[in-house]
A = this chain, B = another copy of it.
Amino acid sequence: MLTVESLTVDAADPARLAAFWAALLGWTVHVGAEGEADEGEVWIEAPRPASSPDILFLPSTDQRPGKNRLHLDLRPDDRDAQVERALELGAAPVDIGQSGEESWVVLADPEGNEFCILQARPGA
């Protein structure tokens, strides 16, 4: 049996990136590895009971060659308000060739990792 323990993100500045994502999602920041003593790791945890694995930010000096093949899609209660909030927290708009007519908005976190804010659920 395998369970998803974490979504792990290479980061030039794990603390900064963790702070951005924790603020965006309303999660809690933890420093140091869970049960281990790996320096520089920072992870964020969803409110309990958790509906998501932790997101772990690992220090990395690897250069980022291009677009990630993995990204998070986020569901808002109010899309435009959440896009505005994300931009205030340090996200940036990203042009991946979208037409502007899409129901979702593409942003990037402070290290350039793309994510999408979807439309609110109908009736939400």
Contact = CB atoms under 8 A, between A and B. Distances in A.
B64 A4 contact: no
A62 to B, nearest CB: 6
Interface residues of A, number: 44
A25 B2 CA distance: 6
A72 B3 contact: no
B3 A75 contact: yes
Nearest to A53: B52
A35 B124 CA distance: 14
Contact of A67 (B3, B50, B62): B62
Given A65-B65, A65-B66, A68-B69, A7 B7 contact: yes
A66 B69 CA distance: 10
Contacts of A26: 1-2
A16 interface: no
